[in-house]
Amino acid sequence: GQQVMQIPQYQHVQEGEDFTTYCNSSTTLSNIQWYKQRPGGHPVFLIQLVKSGEVKKQKRLTFQFGEAKKNSSLHITATQTTDVGTYFCLSNDYKLSFGAGTTVTVRA
């Protein structure tokens, strides 16, 4: 089953607003990866986090790995219509099975 839980499952955002999506695990993770899937497309790798407390930025996207390495977050600043899609987290601790993802829609 899904060992890494993602919340929320759906996120409806006004264009220009910020939002955060989370991945939570009951056990310590060795690493976490984030992927984005545009509607009708395939998942595409965004980033990998490995170290406790690690923070990485990609333009308006900020990724964080928790100090205990049990959770991770993706924060998007000033949401744009190009951010529409489903965001997945993945840890190879679970045979590379993904969580259900957070599906993001944007209101213009």
Partner 1 sequence: NAGVTQTPKFQVLKTGQSMTLQCAQDMNHEYMSWYRQDPGMGLRLIHYSVGAGITDQGEVPNGYNVSRSTTEDFPLRLLSAAPSQTSVYFCASSYSMADSAELFFGSGTQLSVL
Q: Give the burial class of 99: count Cβ atoms within 10 A of its Cβ; 0-12 exposed, 13-18 middle, 19 or more buried.
A: buried
Under rule CB under 8 A, residue 96 binds partner 1: yes
CB of 45 to partner 1, least distance (A): 4
Single out the segment in contact with partner 1 by CB under 8 A; choices: 16-24, 42-50, 55-63, 76-84: 42-50
Using the minimum distance from each CB to partner 1, give the nearer residue, 14 or 105.
105
Given a contact cutoff of 8 angstroms between Cβ atoms, the answer to whether 48 and 35 are in contact is: no
Given a contact cutoff of 8 angstroms between Cβ atoms, the answer to whether 6 and 102 are in contact is: yes
CB of 5 to partner 1, least distance (A): 11
Given a contact cutoff of 8 angstroms between Cβ atoms, the answer to whether 42 and 32 are in contact is: no
CB of 95 to partner 1, least distance (A): 6
Given a contact cutoff of 8 angstroms between Cβ atoms, the answer to whether 4 and 90 are in contact is: yes
Site residues (vs partner 1, CB under 8 A): 1-2, 9, 30-31, 33, 35, 41-45, 48, 50, 88, 90, 92, 95-101
